[in-house]
């Protein structure tokens, strides 16, 4: 019988879940609104195992109670079987973790120490791990890291121009969204092997956004750095910022570290620039000029980083759009690629509007692709591989 693997992606107020039997998805869904208005959405090939309903306040009080509420449904699917392994998305692996690992108490403590580097994600990833260890005490628990894909960075893209001691202590550019970039590379290896071995820019554009320069399947540059704040503007995160601004906010404005953290992580980005929303769909439908300006800045930063990434790579063979905005926004893809023929990028407007996979015009020297990402599938593969290794 194929191994049963549960993949969990735990956020601040949500748990995304997918149950696999081998490579087959048995069920998937999401519990959202934890602690506020909890709601479960569940999809399955079995019509009796579908759900789209509110949870009680007790069921949705925490990651632990939410996972407990899911257990009866999982039991129906398992038919008396057991989950063999649980794979977890963990945003930050620090210096030490460059590959998926079995979660032990020692490793859990290491990951907890990294919470200040990813305060929006790491504490909730770990809450999901704690809940899963309680719910599935016999299952192998596996951490899969968003930073791992980027550990191949050359030193010049890994460091800051600070005294060496800080680099040795772990103050360096880690890069994130690695599971997404890794999945895109695995897809290209099969579907476009010539591109996979070439020079790629993958743009993961969503509420969190970053871009990665990839050569021969290896990350050589990322827009994100020490934390998931750097680089592109995001839904509520600021992206690239002169560090002098932080000194000004702390000294001249008298803001506390907690105030600045909240500002940069939760009040900035598209939300802060527009004063309207962090959702690109809302902004594109708005007639408020501030919404247009927020989109303009988002586009400007992507275009700027494409130039930087192309310079890192010494040329360009393909640009791949992925993530919620990258996959779904015709406007963003069109404007990012507009007047980029000097770089070899020419978009086919009709294919772009149709949401095709290959968006390149016939005259484009660089391929432009739209590829949906699947971080859960990547976690599934890593978890099953470790399960086989340890069996």
Residues ≥6 apart with Cβ < 8 Å to 238: 229, 263, 264, 268, 269, 272
C-beta neighbour count of 24 within 10 angstroms: 9
Element housing 27 (H / E): strand 24-32
How far is 182 from 188, CA to CA, in rounded Å? 10
- CA dist 345 to 114, 211, 267, 372, Å? 39, 17, 34, 20
Report whether 87 contacts 144 (CB < 8 A): yes
Of 28, 146, 230, 374, the active-site residue reads 146
Is 146 assigned a catalytic role?
A: yes
- CA dist 344 to 93, 245, 319, 332, Å? 36, 36, 10, 18
Report whether 333 contacts 360 (CB < 8 A): no
- CA dist 325 to 89, 283, 370, 373, 375, Å? 21, 12, 11, 12, 16
Sign (positive or negative) of CA dihedral 86, 69, 34, 209: positive
Report whether 69 contacts 105 (CB < 8 A): no
The pair of three-digit structure tokens given for residue 264, joined into one six-digit string: 């940069």
CA dihedral 272, 294, 321, 301 (to 10 degrees): -90
Task: Return the active site residues.
Answer: 146
């Amino acid at each position: 019988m194929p191994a049963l693997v549960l993949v969990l992606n735990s956020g601040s107020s949500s748990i995304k879940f997918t149950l696999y039997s081998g490579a087959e998805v048995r069920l998937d869904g999401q519990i959202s609104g934890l602690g506020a208005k909890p709601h479960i959405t569940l999809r399955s090939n079995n019509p009796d195992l579908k759900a789209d309903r509110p949870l009680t306040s007790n069921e949705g009080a925490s990651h632990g109670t939410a996972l407990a509420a899911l257990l009866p449904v999982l039991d129906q699917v398992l038919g008396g079987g057991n989950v063999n392994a649980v794979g977890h998305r963990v945003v930050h692996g620090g210096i030490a973790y460059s590959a998926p690992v079995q979660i032990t108490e020692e490793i859990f403590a290491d990951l907890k120490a990294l919470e200040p580097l990813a305060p929006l994600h790491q504490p909730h990833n770990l809450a999901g791990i704690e809940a899963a260890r309680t719910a599935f005490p016999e299952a192998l628990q596996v951490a899969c890291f968003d930073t791992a894909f980027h550990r191949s960075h050359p030193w010049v893209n890994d460091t800051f121009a600070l005294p060496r001691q800080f680099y040795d202590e772990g103050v360096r550019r880690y890069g994130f969204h690695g599971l997404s970039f890794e999945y895109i590379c695995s897809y290209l290896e099969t579907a476009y092997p010539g591109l996979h071995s070439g020079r790629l820019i993958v743009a993961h554009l969503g509420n969190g956004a970053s871009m990665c320069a990839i050569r021969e399947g290896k990350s050589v540059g990322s827009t994100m750095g020490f934390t998931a704040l750097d680089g592109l503007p995001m839904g509520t995160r600021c992206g690239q910022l002169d560090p002098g601004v932080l000194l000004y906010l702390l000294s001249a404005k008298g803001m506390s570290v907690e105030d600045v953290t909240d500002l940069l992580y939760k009040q900035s980005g598209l939300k802060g620039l527009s004063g309207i929303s962090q959702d690109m769909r809302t902004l594109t439908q708005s007639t408020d000029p501030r919404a247009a300006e927020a989109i303009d800045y988002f586009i400007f930063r992507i275009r700027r980083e494409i130039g930087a990434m192309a310079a890192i790579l010494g040329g360009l063979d393909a640009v791949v759009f992925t993530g919620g905005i990258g996959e779904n926004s015709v406007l963003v893809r069109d404007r990012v690629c507009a007047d980029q023929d000097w770089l070899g990028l020419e978009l086919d407007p009709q294919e772009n509007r149709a949401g095709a996979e290959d968006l390149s015009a016939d005259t484009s020297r660089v391929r432009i692709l739209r590829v949906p990402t699947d971080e859960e599938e990547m976690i599934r593969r890593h978890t099953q591989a470790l399960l086989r290794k340890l069996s």
